[in-house]
């Protein structure tokens, strides 16, 4: 009576299935509760991994809701790699279509923020350029310059106040969020990812630069609202530019 790993896995992920035949208690009887130990280990460990990945969403929806949601997520999207630090990459898409969370439409964008924080934390170290390198560029060259960013950099525009909601749930005495669009820059000046609230125009400019466009193109995309000096000052101050070409 052979138990294949396909049968074993199917039983792990579907609690309505009986334990595979061929697994036994010490008295020789068909195992049932003993198989549940593995079922439970898989569900609990993946749920804990999601709680660790999405602490703000966990706080927003509460323990009971988060665990129930995780149960659906982990069966639909089991990890595709043993690197649990990146588990949950499909959460933004999942939350967009998860009906029970409909009343919190910003959860999907919050998942993108929390994934960005994680990826930033584990991103490769990078050496920033000296602020002088940018200041010393001839003005006629500046518009054609392309920027290389530290891998820990993420820009996250949202139609929801994700920056304020994140702070309200992680910083003591932070003000309550007001419903409005917000954009956020995630950087890692040293070891701790840092969030900065930026304007929509700044976000468009930085996103365009990160796609590999020259500064002139990024400025055009961002439009008249862009405060170029402030945007470049921010990028330099947060150690997120690593090369100019």
Partner 1 sequence: MLDASSDNCLPPLAGVGYKPQHYMDIIQGSGPLGWLEVHAENYMGNGGRPIAQLRQLSEKYPISVHGVGLSIGAEGDLDTAHLARLKHLCDWLNPASFSEHLAWSTHDSHFLNDLLPLPYTAQTLTRVADHIDQVQEVVGRQMLLENPSSYLAFVESEKDETAFLAEIVKRTGCGLLLDVNNVFVSATNLKTSPQVYIDSFPLHAVGEIHLGGHDEDADETGAPLLIDSHGKAVVDPVWALLDYTLARSGPKPLLIEWDNDVPEWAVLAAEIARADGALALA
Q: Is there a contact between 184 and 113 (Cβ–Cβ < 8 Å)?
A: yes
For position 17 contacting partner 1 by CB under 8 A, the verdict is no
Considering only residues 14, 17, 25, 68, which one is a binding residue for partner 1 as defined by CB under 8 A?
25
**Span interacting with partner 1, options 95-103, 120-128, 141-149, 162-170, rule CB under 8 A:** 120-128
Residues 206-245 within binding reach of partner 1 (CB under 8 A): none
Contact partners, residue 122, CB within 8 Å, separation at least 6: 85, 86
The CA angle 75-78-80, to the nearest 5 degrees, is 160
Size of the site for partner 1 (CB under 8 A): 46
Shortest distance (Å) from residue 207 CB to partner 1: 22
For position 123 contacting partner 1 by CB under 8 A, the verdict is yes
Radius of gyration of the chain measured on its C-alpha atoms: 23
**Span interacting with partner 1, options 78-86, 137-145, 167-175, 233-241, rule CB under 8 A:** 78-86
Instruction: In whole angstroms, give the CA distance from residue 32 to residue 25.
Output: 8
For position 5 contacting partner 1 by CB under 8 A, the verdict is yes
For position 53 contacting partner 1 by CB under 8 A, the verdict is no
Instruction: In whole angstroms, give the CA distance from residue 190 to residue 128.
Output: 11
For partner 1, the closer CB: 54 or 106: 54
Tell me, rounded to whole angstroms, the distance of Cα 88 from its chain centroid.
Answer: 8
For partner 1, the closer CB: 89 or 227: 89
Instruction: In whole angstroms, give the CA distance from residue 122 to residue 149.
Output: 15
Residues 133-192 within binding reach of partner 1 (CB under 8 A): 151-152, 188, 191-192
Shortest distance (Å) from residue 33 CB to partner 1: 5
Shortest distance (Å) from residue 154 CB to partner 1: 14
For partner 1, the closer CB: 20 or 161: 20
Could you tell me which of 162, 244, 169, 171 has the C-alpha nearest to residue 198? Answer: 162
Instruction: In whole angstroms, give the CA distance from residue 240 to residue 237.
Output: 8
**Span interacting with partner 1, options 16-24, 165-173, 199-207, 215-223, rule CB under 8 A:** 16-24
Could you tell me which of 54, 70, 51 has the C-alpha nearest to residue 110? Answer: 54
Q: What is the separation, in whole angstroms, between the first and last Cα of the chain?
A: 65
Query: Residue 50: how many CB atoms within 10 A of its CB?
Result: 20
For position 31 contacting partner 1 by CB under 8 A, the verdict is yes
Q: Give residues in contact with partner 1 (CB under 8 A).
A: 1-6, 8-9, 12, 22-27, 29, 31-35, 37-38, 41-42, 45-46, 49, 78-85, 121-125, 151-152, 188, 191-192
């Amino acid at each position: 009576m052979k138990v294949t790993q396909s049968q074993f896995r199917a039983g792990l992920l579907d609690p309505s299935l009986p334990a595979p035949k061929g697994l036994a208690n010490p008295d020789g009887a068909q195992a049932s509760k003993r198989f549940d130990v593995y079922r439970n280990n898989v569900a609990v460990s993946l749920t804990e991994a999601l709680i660790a990945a999405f602490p703000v969403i966990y706080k927003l929806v509460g323990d009971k809701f988060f665990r129930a949601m995780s149960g659906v997520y982990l069966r639909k999207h089991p990890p595709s790699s043993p690197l649990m630090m990146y588990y949950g990459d499909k959460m933004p898409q999942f939350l967009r279509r998860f009906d029970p969370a409909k009343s919190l439409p910003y959860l999907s964008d919050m998942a993108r923020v929390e994934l960005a924080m994680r990826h930033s934390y584990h991103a490769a170290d990078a050496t920033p350029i000296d602020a002088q390198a940018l200041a010393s560029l001839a003005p006629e060259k500046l518009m054609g310059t392309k920027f290389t960013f530290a891998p820990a950099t993420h820009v996250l525009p949202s139609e929801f106040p994700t920056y304020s909601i994140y702070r309200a749930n992680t910083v003591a005495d932070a003000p309550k969020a007001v419903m409005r669009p917000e954009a956020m820059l995630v950087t890692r000046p040293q070891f701790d990812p840092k969030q900065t609230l930026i304007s929509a125009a700044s976000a468009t400019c930085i996103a365009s630069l990160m796609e590999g466009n020259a500064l002139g193109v990024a400025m055009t995309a961002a439009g008249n609202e862009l405060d170029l000096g402030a945007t470049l000052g921010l990028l330099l101050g947060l150690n997120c530019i690593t090369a100019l070409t």
